[in-house]
Amino acid sequence: MAGGDRGAGLALFRTGLAAAALCALITGQAIAGPMVRVDGGALTGSAADGVVAFKAIPYAAPPTGDLRWRPPAGPAAWSGARDATAYGPDCPQNRPSWDPTQSKLPTSEDCLTLNVWTPNASDETHRPVMVWIHGGGFTMGSGSQPIFDGTALAQRGLVVVTFNYRLGRFGFFAHPALTREAAGGPVGNYALMDQIAALRWVRRNIAAFGGDPGNVTIFGESAGGGSVELLLLAKDARGLFQKAISQSGGGRDDWPALGADRPGKPSAEHIGEAFAKAAGASGDDAAALRAIPMAKVLGKLDLLHGEADTYSGPMMDGRLITTNPADGFLAGRQARVPLLIGANSNELGFIPAIFLGAINAEAIRRLGPDLARVVEAYGAKSEFDARIASDQNFVEPARTLAGAMAAAGTPTFLYSFGYVPSAKRATQKGAPHASELAFVFGNLSELRLATTPEDAREARLVGDYWTRFARTGDPNGAGRPTWPAYHRRDDLRLVFNGGGAGAENSPAAPLDALAAHYAAPTPR
């Protein structure tokens, strides 16, 4: 975006109240708060705690009716000032009762909105921008979850964006009728198309909020971290961000191909045909598919109900996704932008032992003939049992991606988050999946625990590293332990644990054994 465009956007932000007053005179509306103008029209937000928030901003047209299972279309413009003081609906999903971090907002297919937090003071013209991609296994979650409130990060002088994207079968669905209709255009991975559309909206509009469209960091956790990795590989996302943070994003996924079966893995189209038949749309008609009621498309999908016979998840569509992240990075196909990446010290520590056995059994099955060699690398079977599922799914992929990025000459920083809040240390061994989120966003109240000054110091430290990286591409700064750039020759990662953080070597033997398993020439 040209400097004049950025200046115009910032000027409008600085004079937002006056613009809102003018709009009120024209439309007869009451002044609701600070105002900005984006490419769809004017927005009125709310101000509190030194931060201005604008919520439920449409970045794409509602993907309903004939727009279901199509790439996101541009949002319609509106007249007058649109109220942007409250969140919009979440995308359709089944929320598990065991996850208190989930939003309680209503759900609707009309859900492609984003939220922006920006410092109220406008003394800085080009603020760094952090765009959050939420997790939830691609089947649940939203940019409106309380733990992702951007106020605390924006108070550090950044512009923060969160957004919704289509989930479950709404976000990932293939069928021969849709492939023919697309006529060579993107098909199947609609959730990833939504993410790219949101980033394009940010590039066009973030200057109006005081943000710098040339200094955008994407960051995400779990499925959001995996999305960050995919966006690093997607040619359609090139130039839309300048830095990336992947938290517990995995990277060794084995997704189905769009239209080609593989041994033991039917194509995404065949899975889609199975769903259509079960839903009563067994013909080869795209209109009939789009007429399937929302509740049937949703099904019972969540993190515990994968419905693998009728739901593909992400797919190798040959355009947006051509490889899993690890293979793509090792082949040098990723964008060359600074990367901060890592995993937690006990990713699956939240899973009851009765279920962990089944997860470990799957990890063992995937190792096949390499099992004995990998067990030996752990030194003891008990150590293997305790770590294999977390290492296989999160820790080893993060290290491999970091190594590939560093080998390409790109600044890369690897971490292990092992901090356990003071109130949980008697019962919790290590940091489980997603436990870093409250520390990254500075929202410790969402832990629903009695927090201590030590917890608060850890949150400040994590926030310092993350936001410094977003500003400069290097998390280091005065007064913090040095975070060395990652190189395989020394294999150093920053470990967050009780007492702060410090650089340590990765546990090389087991992670090397896992990497060698994936590098073997036989199919895995």
Helix (H, G, I), strand (E, B) or coil at 417: strand
Q: Rounded distance, CA 246 to CA 61, Å?
A: 28
Helical segments of 413-475, H only? 437-441, 453-472
Q: Which amino acid is residue 124, in one-letter code?
A: E
How many H helices and E strands in the chain? 18, 14
Is there a contact between 472 and 485 (Cβ–Cβ < 8 Å)? no
Q: Rounded distance, CA 220 to CA 198, Å?
A: 14
Q: Is there a catalytic annotation at residue 433? A: yes
Q: Rounded distance, CA 493 to CA 414, Å?
A: 5
Length of the chain: 524
Q: Which of 347, 396, 436, 458 is catalytic?
A: 347
Chain centre distance of CA 311: 20
Chain centre distance of CA 364: 28
Q: Which of 142, 222, 416, 506 is catalytic?
A: 222
Is there a contact between 166 and 64 (Cβ–Cβ < 8 Å)? no
Q: Is there a catalytic annotation at residue 222? A: yes
Is there a contact between 303 and 211 (Cβ–Cβ < 8 Å)? no
Helix (H, G, I), strand (E, B) or coil at 271: helix
Q: Which of 126, 134, 270, 433 is catalytic?
A: 433
Q: Rounded distance, CA 169 to CA 89, Å?
A: 18
**What does the longest C-alpha to C-alpha distance in the chain come to?**
76
Q: CB-based contacts of 306: which residues, under 8 Å, 6+ apart?
A: 313
Provide the β-strand partners of residue 344.
417
Provide the β-strand partners of residue 483.
none
Q: Is there a catalytic annotation at residue 126? A: no
Q: Rounded distance, CA 340 to CA 84, Å?
A: 32
Catalytic residues: 222, 347, 433
